[in-house]
Amino acid sequence: MATHQERQHPEAPPQIVPQSLNDYLEVMTKAVFQSGMSWKVVNTKWPGFQAGFHGFDVARVAAMGESAIDTLAADTAIIRNRRKIVATVHNAQRLIELEEEYGGDIRNYLRSHGDFYGVLKDVRKQFKYMGDTGTYYWMYVLGEDVPDYGEFCNREK
């Protein structure tokens, strides 16, 4: 993944320029597994995630069956949360479907909702384990338009 040079805030995660749908899946998976976990734990185990999910090759992850999921659920190199592993497979499948539905470019899906909050609402429906903060993180890291983080945190829910 290529990184953007600028960051909005010194503590903000680095942004990337997505090169393929695989990058969307990798950033989404990190958001999924960071939910409720220490970022340090997730980052330490990230090489295991990259290996276990085939470098986040979206087609290979989308095709993972029960046997592959069972193997990952027993792999101490990753966080062994079976529900989140299954969610990653589902999310890979949805990314592929949405990219096809929106003319072969997932950015068309992301930009079809009018604004960030429209995307946020739909991402929660389309993908598993993607809440408000995870979606904000996902879109920010991918370089999509997001509101200022303070505004996002202080909005009426």
Tell me, what CATH number does 56's domain have? 1.10.340.30
Q: Domain for residue 56, yes or no?
A: yes
Name the token pair of 143. Answer: 């370089």
The residue segments making up the domain with residue 119 are 19-143
Give 106-137 pLDDT, tens digit per residue: 999 999 999 999 999 999 999 999 999 999 99
Instruction: Count CB atoms within 10 A of the CB of residue 144.
Output: 16
Task: State the average pLDDT over residues 23-33.
Answer: 98
Taking the model in full, what pTM does it have? 0.91
**Domain count for the chain:** 1
d(CA 17, CA 154): 28
Q: Domain for residue 3, yes or no?
A: no
Name the token pair of 74. Answer: 């027993």
Tell me the CA end-to-end span of the chain in Å, nearest whole number.
33
Residue 6, pLDDT > 50, answer no
Per-residue DSSP letter, 4: P
d(CA 6, CA 87): 31
- Residue 149: HSE in the Cβ half-sphere, 13 Å Cα cutoff: 15
Residue 143, pLDDT > 50, answer yes
